[in-house]
Homo-oligomer: A and B are copies of this chain.
């Protein structure tokens, strides 16, 4: 009977409402049982005085914070730990600031790690915006910095960003990195 906690954990990490069919598929359990388990989960949350509620919305199921607790969350939003950007987000912000417009793939490539989460955080905090789409098959979203970004750094315009040192590779070189995981640099791979 591990379906209920399994559903709870999936809804906890999910970025958006999860459709019943998807839960059923992931758990390999018929939709009817999932529906029952969802009802049990909702029941448990309300009976044990949890701070979370389960709701069906937007074509799926999702966990939310209890609306009557939102005043606490408003106050939490103002604390240092809630407002501070993580190191990963700061790196992504620096890349977007100096290489905009730039796609998620490019940011990930430059940083050397997947940067989806970091960009999502920056977007949520309105430091970056989607400013266009890349040409080409994928039409990847392109990000740029926002007015909030300028305001927070006390800049009037992007031209006021301090110039990077001369030894930093210019964007043209970075462009060639766009295709993920190209074969290694020919200069270092002469032996194979």
Contact = CB atoms under 8 A, between A and B. Distances in A.
Contact of A15 (B5, B69, B121): B121
Given A22-B79, A44-B48, A125-B113, A9 B72 contact: yes
Given A15-B78, A22-B80, A51 B87 contact: no
A6 B69 contact: yes
Given A16-B81, A60-B81, A79-B25, A87 B48 contact: no
Determine which residue in A9, A19, A80 has the highest number of CB atoms from chain B within 10 A of its CB, and name it.
Answer: A9
A51 B5 contact: yes
A9 B52 contact: yes
A29 to B, nearest CB: 11
A7 interface: yes
Contacts of A88: 126
A65 B12 contact: yes
Contacts of A36: none
Q: Give 6 closest A-B pairs by Cβ, nearest first.
A: A5-B51, A8-B51, A9-B51, A9-B65, A9-B69, A6-B72
Interface of A: 2, 4-10, 12-19, 22, 25-27, 44, 48-52, 60, 63, 65-66, 69, 72-73, 75-76, 78-82, 84, 86-88, 91, 111-114, 120-121, 124-126, 129, 146, 148
